Structure 1
Amino acid sequence: MPQLAIIGLGLIGGSLGLALKEAQLEGLEIVGHDAEWGVNGRARKLGAIDREARHPAQAAEGAAVVVIATPILQMREVLEQIAPALGEGAVVTDTASTKRDVLRWAEELLPPEASFVGGHPIAGKEQSGLDAAEVSLFQGRPWAVVPSVRASEQAIKTVESLIALVGAQPVLIDAEEHDSYLAAVSHLPLVVSTALFSLASGSKAWPELAALAGPGFRDTTRLASSSPDLSHDICLTNRENLLHWLDRFGEELRRFRHLIEDRDAQEELIKAFAKVQTARDAFLRAPPERPRAAQAVDTMSAGERMLSFMVGEYVVRRTKEVERLLKERESGEAQPRRKLEDR
């Protein structure tokens, strides 16, 4: 039976399992592992996985596709743990919010017969953990695809099919671009949201401020409720890019501060607000599209493509296993015959 493993069953891993089960791929078995006590059983009862694994290596054994959905700084250890268990042609992907370090770890630790295709679903919410998982989390959302230099074309297509299967849109990008761009539109907002709430809640007047805080404050500080582990790992693994955008944000704040302070710059101030309002409204109506390379027409569905690969890998492994068993049996039968001939 074709097998897919999910290691890490929090918001992203749990939602991925639910979405794959919703797709009803015939014959696909989803094996899951989470290091937190009790999560594996809850994930199985929730319907996100079919079978529990006690260790990452146990989950990866026999899997055609392995998805690592743990916190970023745990991924190096997971890659090290699953490496000996990976079969020939196995595809490994991840869901980390930063990519450069993860690809470096994969290059260092995974066997050459496995393909690593980095991934990052641009989806989520401030709540974390399996209890926050939802089947529609990835619907219509971009999902970055960041292949390693050794990844096969078939492995890349398999990951893209997996992404399409859960309703997301694959976006092919390299690790450096990914980390630089996400620092601006994801990681900077996380830090700014946290800093704003820290500033307000640290004021002596916080009880009065809180009583008057409306939807604007709640929306702007929503990301401050993100997992502290996730926030910490992002800052640590994307430090240079994040510092760059923090510096640029500081410059923009100083520009607005100058316009507010200068009584003779009121026309410029309203123009600045109007320009940004127009740009953001246009973005919400129709975000600018990233140029895409021309792709060959493929009449197979995402599910068919993924299952085709997984079934193929399963057949190859089973064939080799049978051949090995037959050789062992022939070897075992030959030894008694030689002993009889010696007599």
Structure 2
Amino acid sequence: MGIKKITVIGAGLIGGSLIKAFLSTGEFDVTCVDNDEDNLKLALNDGAKVISIENIKEAVFDCDLIFVCTPVMDMLNIIKDVISGVKKGCIISDAGSTKGWIMKNLAPYIKEDVYFIGGHPMAGSEKSGYINASANMFKGASYILIPRMGVPEGKVKALEEVISKTGALTVIQDEFTHDKWTASLSHLPYIVSICLSSSIDRGGYEDDILKMSAGSLRDMTRVSDSSLNMWRDICATNKEQIMANLSKFREELDCFTQILEQGELKDIENYIVKAKDFRQRLARIKGY
């Protein structure tokens, strides 16, 4: 395979889970870079080498593969800072939820003998930090790869082989396709969740009223508690696709509002049945 030394920059939920997954195989020499002492201590206890962010260049000069697992808008400066110090043939990947922005802005800084392959593991939770990381985070999950034009097929295959060790299933896409469908399947659900949370919060309900809420509110607002920095950057770097999806969602709200105004029970029932059918289809596909 050729890849033995891996450096993970950013030991939060995703970066920490990659570290744990790679360490669990016993096949890799893993270095963790972070600015949080608690994250570094936990990674050290798991068997990783640890280096503070101030000494980041020490962690990358001889590694075969680098994963940058920070909020999207931090990635550019990190990669620009380290790229001159990595060895020839090194692969750099990321774990960001948007791809067009980083692929475009990083292009002028990539050297001919260093290979950037964008990555996005379709896994995670509303929790954050290494303390919530899991070696099993990626098992059965799709892991999207977006190679830059000109990256040799052998480098892509090498990265796919490493990622397969986490239990994830790799899918090759381009950045435009990726950002379009993640806006629908990942980003829109988050926006709906935070808007629902904000709407109910504006209602001014006292704690004793909120205490009576049932599981549906818990489930619908769960992802509102996700990483602030991560989602701030996702919204900023994929705003066109997100706004297009919000427009479509607004049309659905208007449609159901009209159905309610007309008050026809059959129309209400048909709309609900259609939604139930989709949920059941999704459950079959995903194995919920």
Aligning the two structures, in what range does the TM-score lie when normalised by the shorter sequence? Answer: over 0.9
* Structure 1 segment 24-39 matched on structure 2, within 5 A: 24-25=26-27, 28-39=28-39
**Partner AA of 2:15 in structure 1:** G
The 2-side partners of 1:22 and 1:238 are apart by: 34
Residue 66 (structure 1) aligns with: 66
Q: CA deviation at 1:51?
A: 4.2
The 2-side partners of 1:99 and 1:56 are apart by: 24
**Partner AA of 1:276 in structure 2:** A
- Which consecutive segments of 4 or more residues in structure 1 shift more than 6 A? none
Residue 21 (structure 1) aligns with: 23
Measured at CA, do residues 287 and 226 of structure 1 come closer, stay the same or move farther in structure 2, by a change above 3 Å?
A: closer
The 1-side partners of 2:121 and 2:67 are apart by: 12
Whether the 8 Å CA contact 2:39–2:131 is kept in 1: the answer is: no
Residue 272 (structure 2) aligns with: 273
Whether the 8 Å CA contact 1:200–1:209 is kept in 2: the answer is: no
Length, aligned pairs only = 284
Deviations 1:215-247 (A, max 9, x none): 111001111001111111010000100000001
Taking structure 2 as the reference length, the TM-score comes to 0.94
Taking structure 1 as the reference length, the TM-score comes to 0.79
Q: CA deviation at 1:269?
A: 1.6
Deviations 1:86-137 (A, max 9, x none): 1111111000010011112331212111111100001000010111111111
Whether the 8 Å CA contact 2:123–2:137 is kept in 1: the answer is: yes
The 2-side partners of 1:165 and 1:200 are apart by: 43
Identity of aligned residues (%): 27
Whether the 8 Å CA contact 1:56–1:78 is kept in 2: the answer is: no
Aligned residue for 1:32, secondary structure, equals strand
**Partner AA of 1:7 in structure 2:** I
Aligned residue for 1:111, secondary structure, equals coil
Deviations 1:21-72 (A, max 9, x none): 11121xx31111112344323311133x234355332211101111111111
The 2-side partners of 1:99 and 1:213 are apart by: 38
Q: Which runs of 5+ in 1 are unaligned?
A: 289-343
Whether the 8 Å CA contact 1:119–1:143 is kept in 2: the answer is: yes
**Partner AA of 2:156 in structure 1:** I
Measured at CA, do residues 2 and 211 of structure 1 come closer, stay the same or move farther in structure 2, by a change above 3 Å?
A: closer
The 1-side partners of 2:244 and 2:268 are apart by: 25
Query: Do residues 12 (structure 1) and 21 (structure 2) align?
Result: no
Deviations 1:165-199 (A, max 9, x none): 10011111110011110011111111110111111
* Structure 1 segment 1-150 matched on structure 2, within 5 A: 2-25=4-27, 28-47=28-47, 49-52=48-51, 54-150=54-150
- Which has more radius of gyration? 1
Q: Which runs of 5+ in 2 are unaligned?
A: none
**Partner AA of 1:194 in structure 2:** I
Q: CA deviation at 1:287?
A: 5.4
Measured at CA, do residues 171 and 209 of structure 1 come closer, stay the same or move farther in structure 2, by a change above 3 Å?
A: farther
